[in-house]
Structure 1
Amino acid sequence: MTSVHRRAVPVPSRLGIGPMSKNAVDACIAVAHRRRQPLMLIPSRRQVEAEAQGGGYVEGWNTETFAAYVRHHDPEGLILLCRDHGGPYQNPRERAERLSGEAAMISAMASFREDVQQGFDLLHIDTSMDLDGVADVQVAIDRAVELYGECAEAAAQAGRSPMYEIGFEDQGRDTNDPFEFRDQLDAVLAALARHGLPRPTFVVAQTATKVVETDNVGAFSAAPSAVTYTVSALAGLTADRGIALKAHNCDYLTGAEVRALSGAGVDALNVAPEFGVVETRAFLRLLDRLGLTAQRDAFLAEAYASGLWRKWMAPDTTATDTDRAVIAGHYVYGSAKFAEIKEVAAKAAIREGIDVDTYLRDAVAEAIERYAAALPHPVPSPLAVAGN
């Protein structure tokens, strides 16, 4: 088995950014243009979704309005629109309504079809989830191949050529076993080949990166030498097959840790919730600076009451209510209550010569820059150069 990664796989970008808010999207565009470096915006189905499926929680955007906003503000085309975690049971409604596997697949494909129609550059087909937990690996693989074929057919009908990313395991704290990963990947590639489907640009592997609360608690941080050795083996496997290795859950890593993952052969990585926390902390600092204690408390209460911090908490958490509210802050940016709070802050800030959105956008851009600076520039893939 290959144990040393040969970085020869072309990729459209090294860094995927979660669009946690309009300011995060604007920050991503600003960094891409400032660095002359392509970046990926990676909305999940929770964040941005087809209008027919209820849209998402970010800025009230649906797939069409999100794509239109980004294209309008990125005339040079440095931003790639990339569906993250598309697949069955990735929209909370599919579990809430107890959809069957077949119905969840139909729903997922409707979402993908809208992505294709709106010109998304890359589709992440993630079939790791099932109705009541994690899907069996073989079930996940079968579903991934089915959706892949339907996406390719929809793309051909629309005259599009999106790239693809595949993953069929929920993210954990450890790495994949390279031998098991090889067998799973080869099974998927063989199935794709039988159906005459193109190879994916990215495959997601377990790279021992895992976000809990506001820390990365994956094994990478605890045992970097052992993890980088295994990641190098995984990267060698993907490179030998002409596919780039993608790492997810890379929030809260240091620059040195990002460089170590990249050096081990990770071709690209995703960061998302950290940028929501960065913006929330920046807004709280601004409220403190402006002396808006009542608005600060109201924002924290609104975020805490959402309960959307629960999925991020450690079982033995010692987090305070404020810590929990900070984790959930970005989920309530679209609420009427937050709009009222932000309006008060904007009026107070302008008297101090501060534009609130510029202040918040700059904070997120600084965080994005930290990751972008730690990664090499991409070797463009033919599909990325050709466009969609």
Structure 2
Amino acid sequence: MSTSQNQQIQITKAATTKINDVDFDNLTFGSVFTDHLFECDYINGEWQTPVIKPYAPFLLDPSARVFHYGQAIFEGMKAYKDDANAVWLFRPDENFKRFNNSASRMAMPSVPENVFMNGLNELLKLEEAWVKKGNGSSLYIRPFMIATGTGVMANPSDNYKFMILLSPAKAYYAGEVKVLIAEHFSRAANGGIGAAKAAGNYAAQFYPTNLANKEGFQQVIWTDDTTHTKLEEAGTMNVFFRIKDTLFTAPTSERILDGITRKSLIELAASEGINVEVRPVLVAELVAAAKEGTLKEIFGAGTAAVISPISGFSYQDVYYELPKSEDTYASHLKEKLTNIQNKLTEDTFGWTVKV
């Protein structure tokens, strides 16, 4: 291994690389990681010298607060390589802002921009070979922060660890997705942490999603916690509904994550002349539209899959199949957005940032 100093980041390079052992054509999402990771500790009120080092397990005290009180947040981002071998990020400023919003809600320290952005850029420069060219190929980026302070007192931690992992990814093919509309379980509640990318939000979804899986559904469309009459998110994604020729999606709130893919699709759809309404969408509206034949599409939107079309939904033990069509808003918008991300078309929105 070799160690150097770069822009106040201590860099220790791995002695060998795993890249030659990776089948980039057959990747399971989020299971393969690059040779290095970024790490920066927050100790007694101060951020320490950040490091880039070989990817490896690390030790934590059994009483670390993350294990006992769940102070853990994360982000999901992607890097892309264009035909000229330049590496690009998609709206990283939005991820940085949302990360610190999550930190604030979880009583965790904000990560300085120079730590987050410089660390990410230096890590990507070191791992540039892991970013493969071609629409459908990307490098998934997972920034996260956990509470490392010791002791089982029910208080916020005094120490934290911020890290960035990189994982090569191919196009996310989930197959046919059928969903169950939640009638009892909720993803989040008013006053809660639904708008934060907190680890506990996702853990709480596993049980009701497992129940849906046993009934033959791949995901759950979550409803509001009070009345279960408003449609909110699909699985871990924001969700859009096309009724006639209008796209509907719920407004962000304390319960709904401010998705970066979601807000990009809203802007992109408007630029394509597609009518978009951001307002509460009722379960009753969806059922009525399905019965009338005016419900044309439902799709989830998020970083991993970009857009995930939904083939049908079940509510109160009645299943509603959606019409099959090749000319969908989902396919049109996905192509437009991924072309921007991969620098195959001009980015008129200013969303892409060169590493």
TM-score normalised per structure 1: 0.25
Q: Greater relative contact order (Cα 8 A, min sep 6): structure 1 or 2?
A: 1
- Higher helix proportion: 1
Name the structure where strand makes up a greater proportion of residues. Answer: 2
